[in-house]
Amino acid sequence: MVLAGLFACTGAALDSSATPAAALDDRIDVELPYGAVVKTTIPFAAEPGAELAVRVTWNPQAPPRYEDGRPVVLLARGSLGAGTFLTGRSMTPWVQAGFVLVEMLLPGGSDDGQASTGTFDTRGPLGQLAFSEVANWAAGATNDATGRPFGELVPDALPWVGLVGTSAGVNLTLAALGRDPTFTPGVRFVVAWEGPFTDQFVDVEFESPEFHLNPAYELGSCGDTTCDMPNLPALLAFDADAVGYTEVPLGADRVELQGVFYVDENADGFYSNPEYSWHMIAHGDTPGTLVTTPSVELSTMIDAEAERLFVDGVRPAWLPETDWLTEFWSSRDASLVIPELAAARADLPVIIAASRKDHIYVGVPDSPHVRSLTHFLQAQGFAFVRLNPDASYLSAMAGVEIDALPDNDAGDCPEWPDTTEWLEPEIGEGVLDRYAATAAALELADRVHEDNFVPNLAAPLFAVPAP
């Protein structure tokens, strides 16, 4: 199916036999070539008067995937900002697969002429609650700001939703669900694409921005939620004269900081590229406020080595105290609430999608965030946890030979050094990355619809659209 061919002319009439005309009258706009696009806002109960910008995209000219309706997914994109909407070929697989795709901007975010009001809190409690509220609306439980339930915009949408987190969106998705596992009963599955969780993984403390592996990290050594790196205290160094940088939320430019934490690999007492160094993710309680956030583990290590690292043992002014960081991460580290989520929703199926060349952990060949999350979810008691989608789904969707793909059983988990055999190979120019999360979501939607959770499928439960 080629969507550009289906929607060749802007403003082309929609097929009223596929979608009742009355439901289309109040659409704000229709954008092509993706299909029908509705832009609306959702009231944000946590902050009276605030509203969350939402975009819904689907192809009403194609028949529903199931006799009883179209599957719905809510996407949580990466970065630590407030999110952006998909564009171009990143959008096409979702519409082509037959999904009703829901996207949102977290409080304080803006994109494509839309904006979410409310307080930006770097994907903290407010951001997580905002994500959950949009999930409830997408599942048909609430109304948008004009009083319309989701089913009025998309009359043949199924009354449940799957969540898809990509990159940092994985931590947001799991943290949002875990904050109150009973708040989003309409959520029926989760897809996690190459996503960090826990403070150490979110802050990528295993490789430098140049994809240089941390010399203190031992491949395969991470546990479910922490990576000890016992040799790091002796190797940790701080060059007060070097200039580092950090990234600030809401898309602002990098900010230079005086002083760099690094590993003194040549033992000369000074930082020099490409020695391993940290770039630290930034947090602002309000936009424009700059604070850097290492993990609690790294901050605790810095405290223990402070007399050696700093003049008079005084931490740099831009580095927050460990107590502050502990509080900061306590509401953002998904691993802290996953046990509660598992206790309440062990039936929630999860597929973790990941390739051999991770989009962030490029220089860390054992993919610790992938192995750790897979094992942690399984150990907590989730009934169906699978690493990568069924080969039959991804093969058909991406146009790749099935024998070239891993086909892991649900319930199994890779160990190092065999991790790479479980991950998607690099084929073409990011071909599998474009389709892996969509294929995983399509598999889970079919499994939920058919209540079929065998560890491996011999063939797709429903036809998979070719690229």
Three-state SS for 129-176 is HHHHHHHHHHCCCCECCCCCEHHHHCCCEEEEEEEEEECHHHHHHHHH
CA-based angle 91:59:11, to the nearest 5?
95
Domains in the chain, CATH or no CATH each: 3-197+333-450 (3.40.50.1820), 226-330 (no CATH)
pLDDT at 363: 84
- What stretches in the chain show pLDDT beneath 70? 1-34, 251-252, 283-289, 429
The number of beta carbons lying within 10 Å of the beta carbon of residue 243 is 11
pLDDT at 31: 41
CB 61 within 8 Å of CB 1? no
pLDDT at 34: 56
pLDDT at 11: 24
Which CA distances in Å does 390 have to 48, 328, 446, 457, 462? Answer: 43, 37, 12, 7, 13
Instruction: Report the distance separating Cα 336 and Cα 326, nearest Å.
Output: 12
pLDDT at 343: 98
pTM of the predicted model, to two decimals? 0.91
pLDDT at 253: 72
Per-residue model confidence as pLDDT tens digits over 97-146: 999 999 999 999 999 999 999 999 889 999 999 999 999 999 999 999 99
pLDDT at 81: 86
